[in-house]
Structure 1
Amino acid sequence: MERYLPVSKKRNSSSSLEKITGSANGNGTLYSEEDSNLEENDFSWGDYLEETGTRAVPHVSFRHVEISIRSNFQPGMKLEVANKNNPDTYWVATIITTCGQLLLLRYCGYGEDRRADFWCDVIIADLHPVGWCTQNNKVLRPPDAIKEKYSDWTDFLIRELTGSRTAPANLLEGVCIAIIHLL
């Protein structure tokens, strides 16, 4: 399969793009001699599509992105997440930020310490609403790195969750439904 890289919104009839073959992976690449002089902002997809008489792929072709953008996950919401070092256990995490279908999470108990923040993909991660572990007889245990930080984790979680926003179950159920529709 050949791969093309558009390089300039100014197109000369034949000399602005050249097809180069024989790359290590066998894919062709388009580039111009002017490549080294181009800035990122010099390229316009709209101009490129118009000049080449092509159309953009419709947004519905990327349902996983559409779903995550509409998912309504918000920073500050709490979730129960599989414990990275012990996947048979779970712990409460806070959403720090969202980026498409990705969530940046921090396990509760780390406070403002960002060193243990981690990204997870909403589509494939083992995420659940707060209370899911209790309803499903799963173990809720803090990560090993902070296990000794508090003497009473139950008391800590009660304080941490009181007045907090938890991710509604329907957000997480919607993700599961979306996965089924994508398959």
Structure 2
Amino acid sequence: LATCEMCGMVGVRDAFYSKTKRFCSVSCSRSYSSNSKKASILARLQGKPPTKKAKVLQKQPLVAKLAAYAQYQATLQNQAKTKAAVPVEGFSWGNYINSNSFTAAPVTCFKHAPMGTCWGDISEGVRVEVPNTDCSLPTKVFWIAGIVKLAGYNALLRYEGFENDSSLDFWCNICGSDIHPVGWCATSGKPLVPPRSIRRQMTEGKQSIFLRNFFFPCYFKVSEGMQYPFKTSMRVEVVDKTHLCRTRVAVVESVIGGRLRLVYEESEDKSDDFWCHMYSPLIHHIGWSRSIGHRFKRSDITKKQDGHFDAPPHLFMKVKEVDAAGEWFKEGMKLEAIDPLNLSAICVATIRKVLADGYLMIGIDGSEAADGSDWF
């Protein structure tokens, strides 16, 4: 056996480099030679007598390197475990509106949105029961708060009894699960406890007045408005975002505010998703594409997965009936259409296919793919 004089590698002597078998490779031989020259020059500059064989900085053996690296990795893992998680704060509409004195568009402007038709019943001054954060009790307690300002679904609330003191004002979603009408605590057996800051000023008489006079007029409408017909695990047909000319099967992964997160059925890691409103014309019941003659990408999954079920046809937005008996669209006709890939552009387009129930397939002139994969 032999030991490399440069890196410390131990190996079979016959496999080593050079006649003297001092190095395990050409690179070690060159590195040794280079370092020897540097050491010799440094010695002369320092006035030391030249030596026959200059000293070379020896590298650690490979086993020692591997051990040191393993220890380094273990240290990093321990640090990651012990390091406290740094909370990531999301965007706060309330703070953004308040700090810039902006005005939010009211919910009533969006008729398709949850509570859009009855949001007028919610206004500043309405009282609700919310969790009391100014309390040292170990259990969750509630107190009455009034709406100071509205910004969409968000409300700036102030605990009852604080009058003009805004020190504990807070923003919350008025449709959240922790917002209840006044009287809810009494009927649900939940404790109604004043905040510590004003507890001494409160009397039983004042508390009873609050319970009698303030209420949340449309609480039940809010509860109903947050119920959606689409449920998770429902299967639908949705436009293929990579080929607008066809649809494919997707599964409802989550429902938030009437909007559906759809995951294409073939996506194993659920990263291939698509967001749309539950009344969007881009989604349809299973079998819709075949019924009107639309292109459809067959799923690679031959068997429906456990727990998945087809969404009933009545949940989808109904299309107005059209009378195609007289003058009607025909293939090759020209028209103007918004380019789906550039919504700011209105382009000359051509009707490429006439489907059933009044549906058309359209291509943008001058930019169509030869196979029609960009028709919409």
TM bucket normalised to smaller: 0.5 to 0.7
Distance 1:102 1:95 in 2: 10
Q: Structure 1 residues 61 and 45, CA, compared in 2 at 3 Å: closer, same or farther?
A: closer
Distance 2:312 2:267 in 1: 23
Does residue 93 (structure 1) correspond to residue 243 (structure 2)? The answer is no
C-alpha contact 2:262 2:275 (8 A) present in aligned 1: yes
Quote the residue 1:129 is aligned against: 285
Distance 2:284 2:267 in 1: 20
Amino acid at match of 1:15: N
The SS at the match of 2:157 is coil
1:46 corresponds, among 164, 177, 181, to 181
Quote the residue 2:240 is aligned against: 83
Does residue 7 (structure 1) correspond to residue 142 (structure 2)? The answer is no
- Give the number of the structure whose residues are more often helix, by fraction: 1
Quote the residue 2:167 is aligned against: 33
Quote the residue 2:309 is aligned against: 165
Instruction: Indicate the structure (1 or 2) with the bigger Cα radius of gyration.
Output: 2
Deviation sequence 1:118-171 (CA, Å, 0-9, x none): 332102252111111111111113xxxxxxxxxxx56x25x1448852112122
2:264 corresponds, among 107, 120, 127, to 107
C-alpha contact 1:104 1:117 (8 A) present in aligned 2: yes
Quote the residue 1:56 is aligned against: 217
The SS at the match of 1:7 is strand
Amino acid at match of 1:110: S
The SS at the match of 1:123 is coil
Q: Structure 1 residues 100 and 44, CA, compared in 2 at 3 Å: closer, same or farther?
A: closer
Distance 1:104 1:130 in 2: 17
Identity level (%):
18
List gaps (5 residues or longer) in structure 1.
17-31, 142-152, 178-183
TM-score by length of 1: 0.55
The SS at the match of 2:181 is helix
TM-score by length of 2: 0.30
The SS at the match of 1:46 is coil
Does residue 139 (structure 1) correspond to residue 283 (structure 2)? The answer is no
1:74 corresponds, among 209, 218, 231, to 231
Q: Structure 1 residues 87 and 59, CA, compared in 2 at 3 Å: closer, same or farther?
A: farther
List gaps (5 residues or longer) in structure 2.
1-102, 104-123, 125-147, 150-154, 173-177, 183-209, 320-376
Distance 2:267 2:242 in 1: 16
4+ long deviations beyond 6 Å: 49-52
Distance 2:171 2:223 in 1: 28
C-alpha contact 2:180 2:219 (8 A) present in aligned 1: no
Amino acid at match of 1:56: P
Deviation sequence 1:74-102 (CA, Å, 0-9, x none): 32221100122333321110122333422
The SS at the match of 1:56 is coil
Distance 2:236 2:311 in 1: 6
Higher relative contact order by CA 8 Å / sep ≥ 6: 1 or 2? 1
Aligned positions, number: 137
C-alpha contact 2:254 2:261 (8 A) present in aligned 1: yes
Distance 2:215 2:277 in 1: 32
Q: Structure 1 residues 53 and 138, CA, compared in 2 at 3 Å: closer, same or farther?
A: same
Quote the residue 2:121 is aligned against: none
